[in-house]
Structure formats: C-alpha cells, structure tokens
Amino acid sequence: MDIKKVLVTGGAGFIGSHTAVELLNTGFELVVIDNFSNSEPWIIKQIESITQKKISFYQADVTNQLSIQDIFNKEKPDVVIHFAAYKSVGESVTKPLMYFQNNIDSLMVILSCMSQSNCKKLVFSSSCTIYGNNHPNPLIEDYAFSDLPHAYGSSKQICETILQKTTIANQFNIISLRYFNPIGAHPSGLLGELPKGTPNNIMPYITQVAIGKLPFLTIFGNDYPTPDGTCIRDYIHISDLAEAHVFSCKRLLTSNIAPPYEVFNLGTGTGVSVLELINHFETENNVKIPYKIGLRRPGDAVCTYANPEKSKKNLKWEAKRSIKEMVKDGWRWQLFIK
Ligand SMILES: NC(=O)c1ccc[n+]([C@@H]2O[C@H](COP(=O)([O-])OP(=O)(O)OC[C@H]3O[C@@H](n4cnc5c(N)ncnc54)[C@H](O)[C@@H]3O)[C@@H](O)[C@H]2O)c1
C-alpha cells in the first residue's frame, strides 16, 4: 500500500493524540485539526517528539464548514477519523444544546466536506454508552440503542444513525468504533489524558489523588449487586484503543469485502470493579489512594463489558495490554505532568 493520508479531528485530545502516534508509527501521513477546547497545543509537540515525525496541524473548529472545507481542499485526505466532540456525560445533562450542537454539527460538516472532496472513508468515535443499562453482558454490537437520559449518549446515537443512513447513498465506507473505558497513557510517559479542571474520568482522578492534587477519591456507591459492591467497567489501555484505529484505516483502505457501514466494540471483554482498579493502582505503583464511599450516581450502569469477538474476527484487532500496564502507564504520565 502506498503512503496514505489520514485527517484526524480532535487529534490533540486523549484518544486522538495516542491514535496520532500509532498512525505515524505505522507510516501514515497525518493531518490534525483541533480547536483546543479540551486540550493543549503542546500535545502536538509531544506526538512529534515521540514519533520523530511531522504533523500537518490546523487550529480550527470542526463545526466551521468554510475553514474545514479549505483544509480538505488543500490536504485531500484518503481517510478521516472524527474524534472531535464534547464528552462529559454530566455536563451534557446541564448543557444539552451545547452537546447536540458540537457533536452533531461537527459530524455533518465532516460528511459534507468528505462528500465534496470525494473522500469516502471515515472512522467515527462512538461509545458503549449507546447501549444504556438494559442489556445483559457481554454487550454485543447487535443490541438496540436504549433511551438515554443524557445528551452525550443521545448525540452519539444520533451520529451513528446519520452514518448508517448516509453511507450507501453517498458511497461512503464507514466504521463506528464503540469505545468502552480507555485509561492509561503512552508507555513513554510523554503523552496521556489531560483533563481541564476536576477530572470526570476515574483514572486521572486516581492519579491526581495519588500525587496529592486532590484529597481523596469518592466511590459512587458500594452497594451494587457486584462481588465487592462497586460498579464494573471494561477498562482498556489507551494504546490498544489507538491501535484499533490503525486497523480500521487499513480495513477501509484495503478491504473490498467489508460492508459499507460497520460497528465494532473496543473493549477487552473483562470487567474490573472500581475497588479492583484502585487495588491494582496501589499495588503496582506502591502508592495509597484514600477514598470515601459516596452515594450512587443516578444513571450509572452497574456493570458493562464488551463482547470483543466481532472486532477480533473482522477487524483482526484485540486488546493486548494488561490492567497492570494501564495503572503503571497512567501513573508515569501523572509524574511527568505533576
Ligand atoms: N474518553 C472516553 O472515555 C471516551 C469513551 C467513549 C467515546 N469517546 C469519544 O471519543 C472521542 C475522543 O474522546 P477523548 O477522550 O479523546 O476526548 P478529548 O476531549 O480528550 O478530545 C477531543 C478533542 O476534540 C477537540 N474538539 C472538541 N470539539 C471540537 C471542535 N468543534 N472543533 C475542533 N476540535 C474540537 C478538543 O479540543 C479535544 O482536543 C470523542 O468523540 C468522545 O466522545 C471517548
């Protein structure tokens, strides 16, 4: 395969930056667009320094059709990976319009620019949130969407529906990836999750408690029907998740047998409880995580983990890194940023 160009939106963010590293290391040319609404410009330098490769970077808002079309005209990408979106479930409850607008408008702009530029291949960032709480585990891709109480998950459901219903008429080839719970950081310790303000996700919260920035971790409920009473999630190493995007690009660029629209779970298939995660972190890194038990958070699922069989079979990808690597790499990153 000759060198192909991938355009990544949201490439300075947590998942986008790790995917950028894997794409560059695989030999893809890279164009990144980000408006830094939830990231920092120095992350682009980190990607370049880890890979010793250059990125063509544009600071732009993906909801701005004119500026994005200009970038498409200039760069002529072969594939697009669309990460750019707002991602906090809690914030989306209080600011639903902001979430629908950014997450849906940005997708519409990308599809329109792809259409006008004759770029037909897209990887879309979806989420296991779309399954809701009503299905038995492990979750399979065939399960129907559940009605959700928050705009974040609803926006992902709407985006997936738009993709499914536009693929054939526009001769697109699209892969939607439903992420479970990405944690950890690049093993170099030079790249990781960089939350603005108090973290919404558990791993940066734990690492900030470990380093003393936050006094303790609140566990939302320990009276769930699980072995230790805390919620169970399918944590996946960020580098495994990032690699799945490389596999997706390759599949879109080389496969003639792939259906025009495909959906894949990205998880390990193993559930880990919040208390187990804390224990792994403490044991592997030899640090204490003070925690308190708080009330259950409304809407939290008791237990979610993926059935990763379809990804293994068709995408030829599977998660390889252990929970130990996740907690060690996450801590190394926190020590780097302090
Ligand atoms: N992190 C998770 O746990 C998780 C789980 C499931 C799905 N996802 C999805 O994966 C994608 C990436 O998530 P992440 O964790 O890397 O989030 P992130 O916030 O770290 O990264 C998103 C990036 O997109 C940028 N961005 C947002 N809106 C933009 C716009 N209009 N124009 C240009 N740039 C914009 C932000 O500045 C940020 O750099 C999102 O679509 C998110 O919904 C994330």
| Domain locations in the chain as residue ranges | 5-186+235-267+308-319
- DSSP 3-state of 267: coil
Neighbours of 261 (CB within 10 A): 19
Residue of 7, 19, 33, 34 to test ligand 1 pocket, by largest number of atoms within 8 Å of CB = 34
Phi, psi of 100, deg, nearest 5: -60, -40
Joined together, the tokens standing for residue 306 give 């993926």
- DSSP 3-state of 300: coil
Q: CA-CA distance, 3 to 79, in Å (whole number)?
A: 12
- Residue 58 Cβ inside 6 Å of ligand 1? The answer reads no
- DSSP 3-state of 289: coil
Q: Which residue from 211, 218, 234 is spatially nearest to 285, judged by alpha carbons?
A: 211
- Residue 16 Cβ inside 6 Å of ligand 1? The answer reads yes
Structure-token match 């906090």, residue found: 88
Q: CA-CA distance, 26 to 200, in Å (whole number)?
A: 31
Phi, psi of 52, deg, nearest 5: 60, 35
Residues 174-191 have pLDDT tens digits of 999 999 999 999 999 999
What is the CA 2 to chain-centroid distance, rounded? 28
Q: CA-CA distance, 285 to 185, in Å (whole number)?
A: 14
Joined together, the tokens standing for residue 166 give 């536009």
Q: Ligand 1: which atom is nearest the Cα of residue 194?
A: 20
Which protein residue's CA is at the shortest distance from atom 8 of ligand 1?
A: 127
Which protein residue's CA is at the shortest distance from atom 1 of ligand 1?
A: 182
Question: What CA–CA distances, in Å, run from 154 to 104, 106, 159?
Answer: 10, 15, 9
- Answer whether 0.85 is exceeded by the pTM: yes
Which protein residue's CA is at the shortest distance from atom 34 of ligand 1?
A: 34
Q: Which residues are catalytic?
A: 152
Which protein residue's CA is at the shortest distance from atom 25 of ligand 1?
A: 10
- Residue 299 has a pLDDT of 82
**Cβ-based neighbours of 207, under 8 Å, separated by 6 or more:** 330, 331, 333, 334
CA of 226 to the centre of ligand 1 (A): 30
- Residue 8 Cβ inside 6 Å of ligand 1? The answer reads no
Q: Ligand 1: which atom is nearest the Cα of residue 128?
A: 6
Q: What is the DSSP letter of 147?
A: P
Joined together, the tokens standing for residue 27 give 């030999």
Low-confidence ranges of the chain (pLDDT < 70): 1, 257
- DSSP 3-state of 7: strand
Any idea which architecture 5-186+235-267+308-319 has in CATH? 3-Layer(aba) Sandwich (3.40)
- Residue 276 has a pLDDT of 98
